[in-house]
Amino acid sequence: MSNLFFLFIFIPILAVVLLALNLLLAPHKPDESKVSAYECGFLALPGQTRSTFQIHFYIVAMLFLIFDLEILLLFPVAVTLYQVNTFGFSIAILFFIVLTIGFILEIGSGAISLSNYNTSKE
């Protein structure tokens, strides 16, 4: 059995079989709370007052994911550094310079500064 067989034939068939088993064997008991719209963990009570959600935390999470994926792209270069020679090394350095410039711009714009956002109640 080759790896391509597992990738293109066996894995999709296994995924479909497992999804079908889940639909057939899983209990289906919807109630009011399960079919209602989920609203960020808050109870949907009429007249309920809530504090505003600061979008800053979402921005920090998205920036973390972007930079985490970009750092992950440097891992294959680090593993094969002896095989990629000078050209591959120069491409990796260029990528790292662009990554550093983006990080400096984020710090300069204040996107990842938590000092401006006081989470304590006064």
- Can you give the CATH number for the domain in which 45 is found? 1.20.58
Q: Kindly tell me if the per-residue pLDDT of 65 is higher than 60.
A: yes
Q: Is residue 117 part of a domain?
A: no
Q: Are 64 and 111 in contact (CB under 8 A)?
A: no
Whether the pLDDT of residue 66 is over 70: the answer is yes
Confidence check: pLDDT of 122 > 60: no
**Could you tell me the pLDDT band of residue 22, with boundaries at 50, 70 and 90?**
very high
Q: Evaluate whether residue 102 is within a structural domain.
A: yes
Task: Say if 119 falls within a structural domain.
Answer: no
**CA 91 – CA 96 distance, rounded (Å):** 9
Residue 26: domain span: 3-109
Chain-centre distance for alpha carbon 26: 28
Structural domains counted in the chain: 1
Residue 106: the pLDDT is 80
Does the reported pTM lie above 0.75?
Answer: no
Q: What percent of the chain has a predicted confidence (pLDDT) above 90? A: 13
Q: Other CB atoms closer than 10 Å to residue 59's CB: what's the count?
A: 13
Please check whether residue 122 lies inside any domain of the structure.
no
